[in-house]
Chains A and B, each alone.
Chain A
Amino acid sequence: MTFLLQVQAILWKDIRCELRSKQTWISMGLFALLVLVIFNFAFDLRVDNKAAIAPGALWVAFVFASLLGLGRTIAAEQEKGSMDRLMLCPVNRKAIYLAKLLGNILFITVVEVIALPIFAALFNVPLFTGELVPIVLLGTLGIATIGTLFSAIAAATQARELLLPILVFPLIVPVVIGAVRATGALMVSSINEPPWLGLMLAFDVIFLSVSLLTFEYVIEE
């Protein structure tokens, strides 16, 4: 019970700080929109190539925008020194990780909810189906799970903005491929597609378990 209350308290604190500072959400949202607009102009979209290009553009926008927010997860607290004070408390380090992860999922989901209708309009694709929800949720969970863990590693270094993408991109390749292919399959149904949702789910479960087990060693000095 104490564990859940601590998760809730840290999550509440992060959301409240973000709602008042508005530093991360606005940057993430604007960045996602810019990427979608640039892709829309950069590619010559036709009916026959839309299904091949649009899902990639969507997930590139989501991944880059997510990294902006993920980079601030721990770094913002490190810079202010408040992470030190949080570490003073007798809080299970898994509770800190879980709260930060839930906060990141929430922030990324809000950006996705805003970006998706704009994407659908710009690329003229019918993506408003219930089948998209699990794809977005599992993709977001995968990106946030790894991003939250590695944001703690990157925050301890001086070149954190450079280091985070270098650490995170290679690891999220499987979940991004799965998300892009599963999103593409919603536009053009194809046979012999692997079970992308199952693969994403397995990826998320494995990395969530690893992150929960290792976060304590990453965050402690």
Chain B
Amino acid sequence: MSAPYLEIKGLKKTYNLKPILRGIDIVLDQGKCMALLGANGAGKTTLLRILACLTKHEAGTVRIDGLDIGQDVQQVRLLVGFVGHQPNLYDELTIIENLLFFGRMYSVKKARERAAVLLQRVGLARRSDERVGTLSRGQLQRLSLARALIHSPQLFLLDEPDAGLDDEGIELLEALIREHTEQGGTTLFTTHNFERAVKFSDQICMLSGGRVVYQQATTGLEAGGVRLAYQEALR
């Protein structure tokens, strides 16, 4: 039996002496998609930031594709594509310049061709020479998705990726996640939408007070059942 693609054991993190994560254990196989649910402050964003090597954890181990994120940071960064709450793009640069810049940061070969394909995919190809500062919230989110995929990451981390997206954008997001998992990639995303969590993912994981309180495969699961479990967990 092969090792899981993502393996989190006893992960702990505190901010200003306040425990945010109190011993998280999560296992996710390659090609699977997990939805992270939880109230505000449950530790979802902190968990994703640790996996993206943006925040250091204090205790526990995290392995991505067998690599320890504490020791093999640069290799792990190559494997991860991250979409955060905010787009955090360079407003003064154009759409294509933003993608090419991040392409260079990841040493992507044929970055221009890759950027063109991604812009076509997220529906921004015709606006590629426009400055990012002129884009709407939803378009910025689409561009963030393209940026996160510029280096063809194996692990796709999305922190509330549906924020600011219209129905068409949500469909695009779903398609991108599906394509990513079909190609063998692994996805972990946070959301507050139970229907979306059940529809997009293979597994659901619920955090409350920095602990995993519910973990379940989505096969045969309905949004109503998840909502009940969520309310039960928060009680």
Contacts and interface: CB of A to CB of B under 8 A. Distances in A.
Interface of A: 2, 5-6, 9, 13, 16-17, 20-21, 80-82, 84-91, 220-221
Contacts of A9: 101, 104-105
B54 A84 contact: yes
Given A85-B88, A88-B54, A221-B56, A6 B74 contact: no
B92 interface: yes
Interface in B63-108: 74-75, 77-78, 80, 82, 84, 86, 88-93, 97, 101-102, 104-107
Interface residues of B, number: 28
Contacts of A85: 84, 88-89, 102, 147
A17 B92 contact: yes
Contacts of B102: 85, 89
B88 A82 contact: yes
Contact of B77 (A6, A80, A90): A90
A89 B88 contact: no
A181 to B, nearest CB: 40
A207 B126 CA distance: 47
A89 B111 CA distance: 15
Interface in B114-144: 131
Contacts of B90: 13, 17, 80, 82
Contacts of B78: 90
17 contacts: A2-B107, A5-B104, A5-B107, A6-B104, A9-B104, A9-B105, A13-B93, A13-B101, A17-B93, A20-B92, A21-B92, A84-B84, A85-B89, A89-B77, A89-B106, A90-B75, A90-B105
B52 interface: yes
A191 to B, nearest CB: 52
Contacts of B104: 5-6, 9
A80 B105 contact: no
> Interface centre among B82, B93, B104, B147, by most A CB within 10 Å?
B104
Q: Is the interface of A mostly helix, strand, loop or mixed?
A: helix
B55 interface: yes
A9 B104 CA distance: 7
Interface in B23-57: 52-56
A90 B74 contact: yes
B74 A16 contact: no
B49 to A, nearest CB: 9
Contacts of B54: 84, 87-88, 221
Nearest to B87: A81
A8 B82 CA distance: 24
Contact of B80 (A88, A91, A220): A88
A8 to B, nearest CB: 8
Report which residue of A6, A17, A85, A89 has the largest number of chain B beta carbons within 10 angstroms of its beta carbon.
A85
Contacts of A21: 92
A81 B54 CA distance: 12
A13 B90 CA distance: 9
